[in-house]
Structure 1
Amino acid sequence: MNARGIPGFLGGALLDLLLPPRCHICRTQCSGADPLHICDDCTAQLPFITEPFCSVCGVPFSATGDSHPCGRCLTDPPPFQAARAVFTHTGSCRDLLHAFKYAGQAHLRRPLGLLAARTLVSFAGHCRADLLLPVPLHRARLRSRGFNQALLLAELLSRHWQIPLQRQALLRTRPTVPQMELDRNARLHNLNDAFAVASPALVADRRIILVDDVTTTGSTLRECALVLKRAGAAAVFAVTISHAP
């Protein structure tokens, strides 16, 4: 009998025996019991964001102490209620995201999405969200890349958090230069009028969690949240995999 004829658990065990899973980071063999497929040593070295961080935008602080709003959020409050990221955008996290986003390794959405689902589950519960919305790509970028990384992550988060996913409520109306290719000043203006809501009825009076892969200056999340609030969203939150330090 081949693996397809064996019930799921036994079939998976047989496949792990024949083709042992390898850590996505160091490529050593690791246990197939955890679907992350990241070994314990590499997991321990991932740059998880811990307190203190900005209690509004989620930017990590280098000092010690309690979480509190950062200077920017005090002087220029964002249109979203709160945002959180799992990691600082450094080291192995950055490498995984680059492979996922730019090297076509879409399977990496699983470990990245699972880490986000586990780490930010309390935050998601606090949001009491009605919908998850992925940050959209312009159709030209989508054709070039072949997938929207934010949508792939949002699909997994939707399943784990049991929050409905709305794929097309938020639209990208014009192509933009990738944020990471710009300096801070250019990033702040690059996304002006780049997003629109397909129909206000899709978001009106809803509590929404935006999903994206990386937060740099926060301009993308701010612009998306502003458009959603103008369309009548009751509250907007955001989650990303990483945040630039």
Structure 2
Amino acid sequence: MTDFDIQALQTELRNKNPRVILRKALELFDNIAISFSGAEDVVLIDMAVKIRPDIRVFSLDTGRLHPETYRLIEKVRKHYGIAVEVLSPDRELLDELVKAKGLFSFYEDGHHECCGIRKVEPLKRKLAHLDAWITGQRKDQSLDTRQNIPEVQIDTAFSTPAHTLVKFNPLLNWTSAQVWDYIEAYQVPFNELHQRGYISIGCEPCTRPVLPNQHERAGRWWWEDAAKKECGLHASNVEGK
């Protein structure tokens, strides 16, 4: 698919309902998968299985997730009767990091090195074998890094000269309230931690509950500047920053 085609497709899908975007994505691509980690992603799975029951889903197991997150992965697998491919970090890279810097180096030198090994590297391996992927990104998740992302784009972070990867963001214009309205209306499985003050949930050492009226990303990497609160999975969001 060329850049011109992407521009035309983005024009077609701009401000469209998530189901319309999902249907188009699944119509255009057979070799496509949903990246699953949070509440938004389960909403997308719930929508997608009604279009393509055998939708491919993958999740990143960093080795540092909350027990509740592992339970959610299993709940989703059983609830929808789908296979969830669980991706693990490269053992040698992880062993080298832990041996050199210990288990909590991110508190001292930032989270990007750890996320690069535990999240980005396994994701890169997976995306190299896909033509397109679907994410649960929303604009209002980050005022600093997610305001300019489109409904569909060439994924410049993970495309290569030999392999163009397309990325769909169907929930781009939804609010958190719309996500939770859908979860309640359709009885979508969700992480138990959401009932304990957690909104944006990542690895256990890097996630904490938020206070009333705090932004949902305030509980992620709270010791760092707000503009740095991306783990690298959506690196193109912060291009030019």
TM-score > 0.5, shorter chain as reference: no
Structure label with greater radius of gyration: 1
TM-score (norm 1): 0.28
TM-score (norm 2): 0.28
